[in-house]
Chain A
Amino acid sequence: MKLYDKIRPWLAKRYDVPLVEEFVDHQAHKPLPEHTGFWHTFGSLSLYLFVNQIVTGILLMIYYRPTTNTAFESVRFIMTKAHFGWLIRGLHAWGATLMILCVLIHMIRTFIMGAYKKPRELTWVLGVFIFGCTITFGFTGYLLPWNQLSYWATTVGTEITGAIPWAGNYMKFILRGGEGITGETLARFYVLHVVVLPWALTVLVVTHLVLMRVQGLATLERVDEEKPIDPKDSIPFFPHHVLKEGMIFCLLIGAMATFVVLWPIELGEKADPFVTPEGIKPEWYFLSTYQLLKYFPKLLGILVSLIPPLVLLLWPFLDRSPERHPKKRPVAMTVGVLGLLLAVTFGALGYISERTITWGGQKYQFDIYAVPHRVTEPAKP
């Protein structure tokens, strides 16, 4: 006799068990549209990675000490002394990068399949907030090891806030907890990273999931013409889609373990507020904004860099076409592809800027605008 069959009578005398069973059964066997495939697993993957961040984050908090005198040393302790500390920190750092990547792919999939259209506009808007929350996690977490890269990337990142007219300096002051990046900043970022953002993201994700389950996955039919899913032409959530997700989840765990072992995230040198190292670059997901800001004066740069998130947020209300199929939405697809190409181009320019690259035996120095300059070696005496 199964364990559940043993405890069911006890539960049934106290709670409305059939109601709960019916709800679980309905959710588990909900039919999904027939075009539901592997691209639909990236939302769940983002959720798995969020759980990974929570679990590894809790474990890191056991040894991490958020003060300027102890933060760097405590992370070094985790990486070198604590049993499997290198693995826990590696999973957390790689998990952060992969989570942002999965959320991005999930958003691109939603965009291509027109799933943001009526009646799912709010699910998309919540998704954009989830994406914003995820990269804020990245920004606040980056400072916590208190190393040179994180210190100076945060200095530059928060300095940009100061250019916002009227409120900028106040925002910078509150964010930093004073004029410069100090222990006050570290404490604030720590609180945001381990308390405020996890709860905010949990609320956003739960609401996003509830809306998704209530309205169901979008089909590729026109807006207001979606037919109820015929169970004969559908994919059952359980076991078909859950198995697909399980497969991708196993691949993800394997990939993460490989990345942690083969490309460990290094700690670098402890933050020195008096020495800025050469070639300070933000994490990959900020590279395009970082490069874009170089081409414009500070204020104009901020206004220009606000356009993409605003367009993303308002996109379901800007795109009024009733079509969902990507082949029938040439304008939306062109805008999407151009936006993505611009982001990748600016990101690549940001990556190669301020670097020296040898190509075909010739050395090139890329300046801050990523314009290459031939480096001529001085003649040997």
Chain B
Amino acid sequence: MNMETKVSRRTFLDWLLGAGLLTWAVAFFSPVMSYVWPAQKRGPGMQTVSAGKETDFADWQTKIVAVNSQPVIVVRTPQGFRAFSAICTHLGCIVGWDAGRKQIACPCHAGFFDLNGRPVAGPPPRPLQEHGIAIVNGEVMVKSA
């Protein structure tokens, strides 16, 4: 049985030309696409920042501080300090403190988080990331998550 299929010189040259054009397009667009891809991607930061003196915080008082340029909410509870990423896990708005409910609240879509960072109401799908806290010489130090 003859399985040989004939490819004409013209068809072969068309393929070659097509492949050449494709290679040219890839060679042209790959530097453009690489250029558009953001050049700086932050690695995990290891910053520890002060949120202020321990005595500056009354019970249930909160403060937003920047850790590795990201907002972190620090809450003083009667049991001690807690710190969570202040970026809502729903759509990225910055959370605040709802004094009435004693919960962390998102102003965008009424999402609420308890004092363990867990979502208790509204659309947030995940808990807020917790940050470590250390009291050093009366200073409230917030660690990177």
A276 touches B94 (CB 8 A): yes
B107 touches A274 (CB 8 A): no
Per the CB 8 Å criterion, the residue count for chain B at the interface is 24
Chain B's nearest CB lies how many Å from the CB of A105? 31
Residue of A nearest to B37 (CB): A174
A274 to B94, CA, bound (A): 6
Dominant secondary structure at the A interface: loop
> Is B115 on the interface with A (CB-CB < 8 A)?
no
- Give the size range of A's interface with the partner: 20 to 34
B38 touches A275 (CB 8 A): no
Mark interface residues in B12-28 (1 if CB within 8 Å of A CB, else 0).
00000000000000000
> Is B102 on the interface with A (CB-CB < 8 A)?
no
> Is A326 on the interface with B (CB-CB < 8 A)?
no
On chain B, the residues within 8 Å of A178 by CB distance are 38, 40-42
| B109 contact from A184, A294, A297, Cβ within 8 A | A294
- Chain B residues 86 to 127 lying within 8 A of chain A, measured CB to CB, are 86, 91-96, 106-110, 122-123, 125
A301 to B112, CA, bound (A): 21
Residue of B nearest to A178 (CB): B38
A368 to B123, CA, bound (A): 10
| A174 contact from B36, B92, B109, B123, Cβ within 8 A | B36
B71 touches A156 (CB 8 A): no
> Is B64 on the interface with A (CB-CB < 8 A)?
yes
> Is B66 on the interface with A (CB-CB < 8 A)?
yes
B110 touches A155 (CB 8 A): no
A155 touches B93 (CB 8 A): yes
On chain B, the residues within 8 Å of A177 by CB distance are 38
Chain A's nearest CB lies how many Å from the CB of B87? 9
Mark interface residues in A270-292 (1 if CB within 8 Å of B CB, else 0).
00011111111000000000000
**Contact of A274 with B91 at beta-carbon distance under 8 Å, contacts A174-B36, A367-B110 already known:** no
Chain A's nearest CB lies how many Å from the CB of B104? 13
**Contact of A173 with B91 at beta-carbon distance under 8 Å, contacts A273-B71, A280-B107, A354-B110 already known:** no
A275 to B95, CA, bound (A): 8
A174 touches B38 (CB 8 A): yes
> Is A124 on the interface with B (CB-CB < 8 A)?
no
A278 to B108, CA, bound (A): 6
Residue of A nearest to B41 (CB): A178
Residue of B nearest to A278 (CB): B107
| B93 contact from A160, A179, A276, A354, Cβ within 8 A | A276
A354 to B36, CA, bound (A): 37
B108 touches A156 (CB 8 A): yes
A318 to B91, CA, bound (A): 35
> Is A159 on the interface with B (CB-CB < 8 A)?
yes
A294 touches B108 (CB 8 A): no
Chain B's nearest CB lies how many Å from the CB of A290? 10
Chain A's nearest CB lies how many Å from the CB of B44? 12
A274 to B66, CA, bound (A): 8
Mark interface residues in A343-369 (1 if CB within 8 Å of B CB, else 0).
000000000001000000000000110
Chain A to chain B: the 9 pairs with minimum beta-carbon distance, closest first: A276-B93, A276-B94, A159-B92, A159-B91, A156-B91, A274-B71, A178-B38, A278-B107, A177-B38
A/B interface sample: 28 pairs, CB < 8 A: A152-B108, A155-B91, A156-B91, A156-B93, A159-B91, A173-B38, A174-B36, A174-B37, A177-B38, A178-B40, A180-B92, A184-B38, A274-B64, A274-B71, A274-B94, A275-B64, A275-B94, A276-B93, A276-B94, A276-B107, A279-B107, A280-B93, A280-B107, A280-B108, A297-B125, A354-B109, A368-B109, A368-B110
